[in-house]
Amino acid sequence: MAKAQGSLEYLIIIAVVLAVTAIVTLIAVNSFGSQQNRYFYTSCANAAAVCKTSLSANPSAQCSACDTSCVFSNGTEIFPRAITCCKQGKSDMIYDGSPGCMPACRDGTPYEECSENLPMYCDDAGNLVPNCNICPCPAGESCNTVTGTCYMPSDCGSVPNGQCSATKPLYCDNGVLVKRCDLCGCPSDSFRPCCDGMDACTCKWSYSCLSNGACDSYIEYTNCRTCSDCCLNGQCRNLANCPI
């Protein structure tokens, strides 16, 4: 009887030891897993903070570190759209159980919505593009419906500030039309009559850009039906003496 009781006590001791060992192992595994998870979340959050700084200096920054810092060893994201959160610089959204971040452009604007930087628009491909037809221009500015950009109205009539007029070489410079053939070019060559009556001539006007922004016009050649030289104001002239 005493021998049986001793065996039972021995088995109980073994069971207790095994139970304690299992509990210690479980605690150790959970502790290791928690430490490992904290490492991944910390790594991802740090990458997001760096990305935020990069985006403030360069909105087109790629933040490629997020691709490797926000995934577990098996390659899966630490939570849904963790890489998206990281590449938007949203370190505050990186934690265990995070719902993730919605797809957005580099400045954090959700797809198909207007940016705070009007008239920029985040399209469905994640590109920030000017689109004042959807996103209103800032106060005081007008919308160029063709380019989607905004401009300040000026005293240049229908010519937007910072653009060329259809009448070359005029350019709208802060509300003033100035001659800028270096930006707007000169008129195209043209052929015009240069003599009336029977002594009709056709002259070619050509243009060159001067350093002061104006266009210099000159007659390149003449084609007179009755005069061998240039016909101007009813008189035959030598080509060198043919003013505009």
Question: Nearest 5 degrees, angle CA 148-CA 152-CA 158?
Answer: 80
Is 121:133 a contact under the CB 8 Å cutoff? Answer: no
pLDDT at 87 over 80: yes
How far apart CA 207 and CA 225 sit, in angstroms, is: 25
pLDDT at 117 over 60: yes
How far apart CA 132 and CA 144 sit, in angstroms, is: 7
Mean pLDDT of 56-72: 88
> Which DSSP letter does residue 224 get?
E
| Overall residue count recorded for the chain in this entry | 244
- Number of Cβ within 10 Å of residue 71's Cβ equals 17
pLDDT at 2 over 60: no
Domain-wise residue ranges, the chain: 1-101, 103-151, 159-185, 190-241
> Which DSSP letter does residue 163 get?
S
Which of 192, 145, 146, 188 lies closest to 167 in space, CA to CA?
188
- Tell me the whole-structure pTM to 2 decimals: 0.38
Please give the helix or strand (H or E) that residue 33 lies within, else none. helix 2-57
Which of 183, 179, 177 lies closest to 161 in space, CA to CA?
177
pLDDT for residue 243: 45
Mean pLDDT of 158-179: 85
Locus of tokens 């270096």 = 182
Q: How confident is the model at residue 33 (pLDDT cuts 50, 70, 90)?
A: very low
